[in-house]
Amino acid sequence: MIRLEKRPQPSRIWTVATPVLAVALTMVAGGLMFAALGKDPVVAIRTIFWDPLFNEQFASYSRPQLLVKAGPLILIATGLSLGFRAGIWNIGAEGQYIMGALAGAGVALALYPLDAWFLFPLMVLAGALGGWAWAMIPAILKTRFRTNEILVSLLLVYVAEQVLAAMALGLMKNPEGGGFPGSRNLQHYPAAANTELIAGTGMHWGVAAAFIAVIAAYVMLTRHMLGFQIRLAGQSPRAARFAGVNPNALVLICLGLSGALAGLAGMFEVSGPAGRVNIGFNQGYGFTAIIVAFLGRLHPVGILLAGLLMALTYIGGELAQFMLGIPAAAIQAFQGMLLFFLLGVDVLSNYHIRLGRRRVA
């Protein structure tokens, strides 16, 4: 008989080892999946993890794209991790990402063709407020009516997608676009464009914001009273109440911060790599960031590394689709395996596995 026995304290060794083991198991299971699809598993894994960085045929394009893909993932995951640590589950970052993009792009398009230095900072503010406002819906419903923030935030993603489609086909539609859906290209609007800060590196303001968010989150969690309250609420809600932590205020703060960072990620994306509002603007970053947050152990530095790893699977996955003909759905399943194995192996951090014979009555 196999049974689980709870550890007195979480194992530090397993806490560090589980992400590494989860990645290794993902490679093994992913290799089996690729073999079932008729592809060489070794070549497929090499194409995803090695070629984008070290194959000179692709590296000149792939290396800058690593930061481009990692920026929004790190920014969103950092915000999500604050709530997750406190036991507040924002699953709707994808919707907040969309609304932040719409708010930021809306400012630029409303003021077109204004060429002023303050336009981009105004877009940044609008993007953060757009994501924050969308996150406040589940936050207020939870604090006032005790609704489930998981369901409300998730369902609001589909509402945001419909708003995105309506904007791309209606209010934000490019009047010079020949009837095609989508807004003006913000990359052609110098005052609103999120251009590279260092040419050829992929480093833009969104990536810089992601690094700043990681540093700020680390300082807050380790040096600020709010960080202590977040950690205490997640570890022992009852002790947090005795310590004077206001659970409703914590819900508003954590959901607000995660929504604002997701909105910023959307704004930086629509004004930079994506360039314009269109129906297919959202790339699933809000959902993938959940994997990044847990793969990084809800720690800012871990999230930074996990974001880079997940960005590598995005770039390598696209390369594998092009070079090996692997279906996009298989790449998405491969990414999902990371969270699956991480959650499965994470049991070992809190439990011993005990083997023994079943007792006979």
- Residue 189 structure tokens: 């609007």
The pLDDT confidence band at residue 355, using thresholds 50, 70 and 90, is: confident
Query: Per mean pLDDT, which range of 73-77, 145-149, 232-236 is the poorest?
Result: 232-236
**CB within 8 Å of 128: residues ≥ 6 apart:** 100, 260, 261, 263, 264, 267
Q: Looking at residues 86-104, what average pLDDT do you find? A: 97
Rounded to the nearest 5°, which phi and psi values hold at 353?
-95, 120
The pLDDT confidence band at residue 360, using thresholds 50, 70 and 90, is: low
Q: Is residue 148 part of a domain?
A: yes
By the 8 A CB rule, do 84 and 293 touch? yes
Residue 62: pLDDT above 80? Answer: yes
- Count CA atoms closer than 13 A to 1's CA, side-chain side: 8
Q: Is residue 278 part of a domain?
A: yes
What is the C-alpha to C-alpha distance for residues 148 and 212, in angstroms, rounded to an integer?
Answer: 31
pLDDT at 296 (0 to 100): 92
Residue 24: pLDDT above 90? Answer: yes
More confident residue, 133 or 281: 133
What digits encode the pLDDT tens for the residues 235-249?
Answer: 888 888 888 899 999
By the 8 A CB rule, do 76 and 285 touch? yes
| Average pLDDT taken over every residue of the chain | 92
Q: Is residue 358 part of a domain?
A: no
Q: Is residue 63 part of a domain?
A: yes
By the 8 A CB rule, do 59 and 200 touch? no
Q: How many domains are contained in the chain?
A: 1
pLDDT at 358 (0 to 100): 62
160 to 92, 181, 273, 287, 290: CA distances (angstroms) = 10, 17, 20, 14, 18
Q: Looking at residues 337-361, what average pLDDT do you find? A: 80
By the 8 A CB rule, do 91 and 289 touch? no
pLDDT at 111 (0 to 100): 94
- Pairing state between β 2-6 and 351-355: antiparallel
pLDDT at 276 (0 to 100): 93
What digits encode the pLDDT tens for the residues 130-178?
Answer: 999 999 999 999 999 999 999 999 999 999 999 999 999 999 999 988 8
Q: Is residue 360 part of a domain?
A: no
More confident residue, 278 or 353: 278
DSSP string, 232-278: HHHH-HHHHHHTT--HHHHHHHHHHHHHHHHHHHHHHHHTTTS-S--
Q: Is residue 255 part of a domain?
A: yes
Question: Helix 119-145 vs helix 93-110: angle between axes, to the nearest 10 degrees?
Answer: 140
Element (H, E) at 39: none
What is the C-alpha to C-alpha distance for residues 193 and 275, in angstroms, rounded to an integer?
Answer: 8
> Domain containing 257 — which CATH number?
1.10.3470
Q: Is residue 123 part of a domain?
A: yes
pLDDT at 361 (0 to 100): 59
Q: Is residue 225 part of a domain?
A: yes
By the 8 A CB rule, do 266 and 97 touch? yes
**Which residues form the domain of 171?**
40-325
CA 285 to chain centre: 5
Residue 110: pLDDT above 90? Answer: yes
